[in-house]
Amino acid sequence: MKLVTWNTQWCRGLDDAVSPRRIVDGARAMADFDVLCLQEIASGFEGMPGQPGDQPAELQALLPGFRLFFGAAVDEFGADGRPMRFGNLIATRLPVSRVSHHVLPWPADPTVSSMPRMCTVVTLTSSELGTLRVMTTHLEYYSPSQRLAQARALRALHLEACEQAAAPPVDPREVSPFQAKTHTPQAILCGDFNMAASDPAYDEIVQAFVDPALPAGGTPARRLQDAWPLAHPERPQDPTFRLFDRTYGPDPVACDFVFVSDSLAPRVRKVEVDLQTQASDHQPVVIELGD
């Protein structure tokens, strides 16, 4: 299974042109992806540079055979009453059983500008990997305290899903909102985390927890693992931000990550960063998993 994750800067390249097509073409150049996770997708924000338009609709037209799931972290109305939405999108050609959109914490921090953040989760089935959750997110940039709270929430979401898989609710055997759901401990968490690997929020995400599927007492720990060192144990991750545009700092940094659950860690075959594209101010990351 191949997945590409990319903070698109509302599909705005370093030439200031807004082009969803260029994003899709760039992702396809990296891999014949089964799943595409995009952050900073806009709809209705006509006042933003490049006037992004209805990007979920444009992306759907560019991805025939894929189902798209857009989660708006910002969902509001302009002065003219038109909706304005900004968030994350998952597109996949694999069978989907569940979709969830989780609002992440937004604790007060009066020292900086900030915006709501969320995580979109799609439960899908891969012929190679079985059932797994794909989680994509975009954490707070300016506020370390908000980013830490959001990282804790992401880890809690994963742990909750593992607990549900280990102890699923009673199946009412009826077609209703109470009908049995698909739960799995297998997960990929990806996106723009707006942090370096040295950030406390990174440590929060990879912190171990006791496997709820095993008996209590001496049970082994489980955690989300950064996929890059699994594929490249000999070197740090390639930069994904400030490689070409130094508006937000002088040095390139890796802040777009892919984390995988323990059962998927041995199945990581490839993780790479596109170090050439300038279709966004971030570089895309591809991961390939298989037998």
> Using one digit for the tens of pLDDT, what is the confidence trace for 128-176?
999 999 999 999 999 999 999 999 999 999 999 999 999 999 988 888 9
What's the mean pLDDT in 53-70? 97
282 vs 82: CA distance, rounded Å: 29
Burial class (CB in 10 A: 0-12, 13-18, 19+), 108: exposed
Domain presence at residue 202: yes
Letter for the amino acid at 200? P
pLDDT by residue (tens digit) across 77-104?
A: 988 899 999 999 999 999 999 999 999 9
Provide the domain limits for residue 149: 2-171+185-289
Report the candidate in 119, 108, 37, 106 with the shortest Cα–Cα distance to residue 72: 119
Domains in the chain: how many in total? 1
- Phi and psi at residue 202, to the nearest 5°: -65, -45
**Does residue 177 lie within any of the structural domains?**
no
Answer whether residue 176 is part of any domain. Answer: no
179: in domain: no
pLDDT at 204 over 80: yes
Which string of DSSP letters, residue by residue, matches 84-106?
EEEEEEEEESS-EEEEEEEEPP-
The pLDDT > 70 percentage for the chain reads: 98
* Structure tokens belonging to residue 42: 């806009």
**Average pLDDT for 1-30:** 97
Q: What is the CATH number of the domain that holds 201?
A: 3.60.10.10
